[in-house]
């Protein structure tokens, strides 16, 4: 019962009071319209616009791209049906040329032994490596042992650099899931509403979009010393940190004793503030997902409308039609 009353007070303060205030502010305008020139002013609820726009863009547009990318990010295996327009020697030569082209675009560095190595630290490099190795495996199917070894080494490099790990905020996930649980406690039928469906997809979108590839994680480690931006966690953690403060009081100049009443009031106030912040964070889960998409997928996402043939034609032009089509 106390939880219900607390929720009622919260929504009253967030929704009913602002709405009534706006109504009161609108009444004088309606009265002046009778005597003065009509003047209409409409305020935009930017929070609602951001929330609704984030769900529309994140769930309907970006989520399918994220799911498709996660399902197809691995290097394709040879199909056994290479280009019939090229003989075996030509396919080996073209594969070697493409591998040299990829290597020329990678970042070079010296290891501890002073040997020059190559690595992937950009999304454009990862996408180029992915498309090139897919094209070689599907269209060229080289047979030369040295070229096959190069393909294997580049595949290992790509897999290590593009392995994804979750770097999102557990505060955001917890708040987003928590509001679903809270709505279910208030009214079980609300769990079957359209909003909960969109919100659930928004949670899935946030989780998947927060999975950063290792080359992005390494870049964040070198620049910021951490893998997460941690804005939400820092704010909520800072609020919770206030509950660790101990209060003491002296009665009539006597010895100081713990002021449990003050600490209890501060704890209740802190929990209420955290609840309000978590409520807003929960509705912004899709918005944070959109931000993470641009951080983790903007340069590496895969489109179902693209393939190796279109990529080769777009990247290298039509200098050799035999390498653009599977037809003889």
Q: Are residues 79 and 105 in the same domain?
A: yes
pLDDT of residue 169: 86
Q: Are residues 176 and 225 in the same domain?
A: yes
Contacts of 143 (CB under 8 A, 6+ apart): 88, 91, 92
**What are the φ and ψ backbone dihedral angles of 164, each rounded to 5 degrees?**
-100, 140
Sign of the torsion formed by the C-alpha atoms of 250, 254, 256 and 262 = negative
Of the residues 143, 162, 181, the one at which a domain ends:
162
Q: Are residues 98 and 183 in the same domain?
A: no
- The answer to whether position 124 is within a domain reads yes
- The answer to whether position 16 is within a domain reads no
Of the residues 128, 162, 196, the one at which a domain ends:
162
CA distance 147 to 126: 20
Contacts of 311 (CB under 8 A, 6+ apart): 131, 135
Tokens of 245: 């403060």
CA distance 184 to 180: 6
CA distance 63 to 118: 32
Contacts of 220 (CB under 8 A, 6+ apart): 167, 212, 226, 227
- The answer to whether position 321 is within a domain reads no
Beta-strand ranges (E) seen in 175-318 are 211-213, 248-250, 256-258
Please give the residue range of the domain that contains residue 269: 166-296
Q: Are residues 102 and 77 in the same domain?
A: yes
Predicted TM-score of the model (pTM): 0.72
pLDDT of residue 279: 80
pLDDT of residue 38: 54
Tokens of 321: 């039609």
Number of domains in the chain: 2
- For every one of its 328 residues, what pLDDT tens digit does the chain have, with 9 covering 90 and above? 334 334 444 444 444 334 444 444 444 444 444 445 555 567 888 888 988 999 999 999 999 999 999 999 999 988 778 888 888 999 999 999 999 999 999 999 888 888 889 999 998 899 999 999 999 998 899 999 999 999 999 999 999 999 999 988 888 898 899 989 988 888 888 888 888 999 999 999 999 999 999 999 988 888 776 555 555 555 555 554 555 566 666 666 666 666 666 667 776 777 777 777 778 888 899 999 999 999 899 888 888 888 777 777 777 765 555 555 443 3
Q: Are residues 142 and 253 in the same domain?
A: no
pLDDT of residue 161: 94
Q: Are residues 84 and 143 in the same domain?
A: yes
Q: Are residues 209 and 281 in the same domain?
A: yes
- The answer to whether position 218 is within a domain reads yes
């Amino acid at each position: 019962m106390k939880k219900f009353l607390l929720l009622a007070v919260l929504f009253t303060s967030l929704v009913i009071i602002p709405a009534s205030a706006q109504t009161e502010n609108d009444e004088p305008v309606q009265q002046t319209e009778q005597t003065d020139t009509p003047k209409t002013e409409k305020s935009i609820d930017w929070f609602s616009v951001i929330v609704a726009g984030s769900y529309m863009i994140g769930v309907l547009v970006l989520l399918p791209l994220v799911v498709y990318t996660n399902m197809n990010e691995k290097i394709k295996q040879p199909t056994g049906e290479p280009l019939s327009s090229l003989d075996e020697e030509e396919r080996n030569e073209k594969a070697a040329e493409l591998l040299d082209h990829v290597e020329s675009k990678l970042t070079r560095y010296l290891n501890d032994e002073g040997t020059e190595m190559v690595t992937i630290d950009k999304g454009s490099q990862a996408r180029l490596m992915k498309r090139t190795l897919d094209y070689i495996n599907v269209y060229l199917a080289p047979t030369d042992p040295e070229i096959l070894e190069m393909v294997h080494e580049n595949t290992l490099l790509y897999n290590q650099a593009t392995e994804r790990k979750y770097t999102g905020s557990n505060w955001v996930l917890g708040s987003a899931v928590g509001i679903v649980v809270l709505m279910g406690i208030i009214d079980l039928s609300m769990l079957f509403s359209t909003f909960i469906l969109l919100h659930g997809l928004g949670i899935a979108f946030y989780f998947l979009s927060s999975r950063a590839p290792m080359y992005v994680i390494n870049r964040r480690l070198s620049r910021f010393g951490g893998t997460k931006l941690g804005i939400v966690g820092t704010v909520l953690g800072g609020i919770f940190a206030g509950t660790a403060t101990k209060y003491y009081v002296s009665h009539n100049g006597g010895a100081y004793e713990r002021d449990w009443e003050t600490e209890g009031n501060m704890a209740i106030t802190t929990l209420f503030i955290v609840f309000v912040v978590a409520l807003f964070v929960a509705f912004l889960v899709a918005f944070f997902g959109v931000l993470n998409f641009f951080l983790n997928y903007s340069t590496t996402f895969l489109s179902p409308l693209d393939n190796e043939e279109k990529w080769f034609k777009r990247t290298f032009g039509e200098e050799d039609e035999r390498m653009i089509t599977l037809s003889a």
